[in-house]
Chain A
Amino acid sequence: MNASPVYLDAASAAPLHPVARQALLAALDDGWADPQRLYAPARRARQLLDAAREAAAATLGVRPDELSFTPSGTAAAHSAVLGGLAGRRRVGSGLVHSAIEHSAVLHAAERHVAGGGTATSIPVDRVGRIDLDAWSAAVRAPGTALAALIAASHEVGTTQPIAEAGAACATAGVPLYVDAAQVVGHAPVPAGWSVLTASAHKWGGPPGVGLLVVRKGTRWESPWPMDERESGRTPGVVNLPAVVAAAASLRAAAADAAARGARLARLVDRIRARVATEVPDVEVVGDPEDRLPHLVTFSCLYVDGEALLHALDRRGFAVSSGSSCTSSTLRPSHVLAAMGVLSHGNVRVSLHQDTTEADVERFLTELPGIVAALRAEAGVVGL
């Protein structure tokens, strides 16, 4: 029997929002011209781009000229980190970041260090929340140019104390960059940041669109070769139909985020509780309360993460994992490692607007048997 598929990996890519599909199709007809040119189809494209920028900016509560579109959340994160550091190079070359940033931020930090800069990684506790004292001390240190903090963990869902971290930055006069890829379109972003990035395919927009917001007065300098588009922040032409779809779906996703979030948070509560009681030897990780509404992560003792993903896939469940054997590097997730929680047998479940209670029930009904079968096969029952 073929099980009907249940997609539970919205944190990698949410299914396309119906509004995104409509807007994308319309903009393919209407928004293919180069918005910088001086003829009618170009003016139409320009209008679409301006309207998309205004809509996205209004949803985020920022000025349109503060917002640039980028080719991905990753590209936006690279620009945020490297541009934030470049703009403040006279102050120093210190970057402060949490230990659990997305790899896009960490790779930009590595580039910065390779170029002679420094980076200070701030530890997190067992639920994945930063040590605010260590954070404050690090941003106060002389030569700190930029601080980067993920709004909520893409791997375990824990939200960070952005307001407090931002207050420490403000006191020290250091701009705060917030990677809000998992929050924008799902929940309000707390104030206190100077630079913010997001990614459209996390809220139901198309893949390949990111947002980079640089607040007025922030010293930010493009780390890329000169290009005038997107206020000089993103080199190259943007994918206008995708940008239009991203902005339209952002507005739609944000409009019902509270109701959707409340519904998904209840389903996540149910997963947290049932997995903990119905699967033996499992560690549910991340903060049970201060967390994303739609994401939950757990690790099953003695179970190979890759085998678990394949077994779930055979039953029609699409989930992701931070286990080392499921990554290309064969390293355990740096997020789980920083939290000091079990990294093997790891499963991340992330819900979206089409996730039903029945989907979650089927997952919860099948999971204990799937884990038990893998354990029996590996001869680890009763250890």
Chain B
Amino acid sequence: MTAPEVLDCRGRRCPLPVIALARRLPELPVGTLVRVLADDPAAAVDLPAWCRLRGQEFVGQVDGPDGPGFDVRRRR
């Protein structure tokens, strides 16, 4: 598997990380994994909620050296 596409939203307040994801995901092929780096605490709530509302897959949260990351796969 290739390294996931990364969307760096660190330092950006919600809802900006959700908006960035909503812009980027449709540009990528179905099946692509995107990692959203976001340090606004609301991202942990809003990214999974957005996936549920939009029928996309929230894969999980991965906390790396870059801070919290949120993996999302384009499903449709």
Contacts and interface: CB of A to CB of B under 8 A. Distances in A.
B63 to A, nearest CB: 17
A286 to B, nearest CB: 14
Contacts of B19: 302, 378, 380, 383
B14 A301 contact: no
A262 B59 CA distance: 43
A344 B48 contact: no
A301 B13 CA distance: 14
Interface residues of B, number: 18
Given A324-B14, A343-B14, A378-B19, A332 B53 contact: no
Nearest to B44: A337
Contacts of A332: 14, 41-42, 45-46
B39 to A, nearest CB: 11
- Pick from B13, B15, B22, B40 the residue with the most CB of A within 10 Å: B15
Nearest to A334: B45
A139 interface: no
A344 B42 contact: yes
A283 interface: yes
B34 interface: no
A340 B53 contact: no
Contacts of B50: 301, 342
Nearest to B14: A344
Interface in B1-38: 13-15, 18-19, 22-23
Interface string A131-164: 0000000000000000000000000000000000
Contact of B42 (A283, A301, A302, A324): A324
Interface string A358-383: 00000000000000000000101001
B62 interface: no
Top 7 nearest A-B pairs by Cβ distance? Answer: A332-B42, A344-B15, A383-B22, A342-B49, A324-B42, A337-B45, A343-B45
Interface of A: 281, 283, 301-304, 323-325, 330-332, 336-337, 340-345, 378, 380, 383
16 contacts: A283-B49, A301-B53, A302-B15, A302-B19, A303-B15, A324-B42, A330-B40, A330-B41, A331-B41, A332-B41, A341-B49, A342-B45, A342-B49, A342-B53, A343-B14, A378-B19
Interface of B: 13-15, 18-19, 22-23, 40-42, 44-46, 48-50, 52-53
